[in-house]
Structure 1
């Protein structure tokens, strides 16, 4: 544990950010899995879930949770499965 006050604060804020980022990344993965499952089963709401997955990927890329090229790659693969 650091002794300097600013370093102690950085540890606390880093922990909070880590928790928030983990939750956001997990939610993104869940959204993608739901979309993939719907596309595989030809579900009626597959297009809606695909839009939600694309939005989740864009949000994660803009927040820096995943690289923008990784988001583009995943979106491309989802679209390929949809068509």
Structure 2
């Protein structure tokens, strides 16, 4: 229980920020899963499109501070390598 008005505001804003971060991370996982499914199915066109969407979403999340830039760069690199290794 917050003791001051400003603490109560911080609790509300923290909850709002946590919700937005959770949504963003869930979307990232969904896009990564979609790319992985396309790669496993051997669908090159879908994989390239999914890679573009996932890269964009990762960059936006890093820009907003939801995920660290290093994680973003590492994920993008590994996802691109998966697509590149497709037949």
| TM-score normalised over the length of structure 2 | 0.89
When the two chains are superposed, the root-mean-square deviation of aligned CA atoms in Å is 0.9
- 1:60, CA displacement in angstroms? 1.1
- Structure 2 stretches of 5 or more lacking a match? none
| TM-score normalised over the length of structure 1 | 0.93
Write the mapping of 1:4-83 to structure 2, written as runs, cut at 5 A: 4-43=4-43, 44-83=45-84
For 2:71 and 2:24, the matched residues in 1 are separated by 16
- Structure 1 stretches of 5 or more lacking a match? none
| 3-state secondary structure, aligned to 1:30 | helix
Structure 1 segments, 4+ long, off by >4 Å, are: none
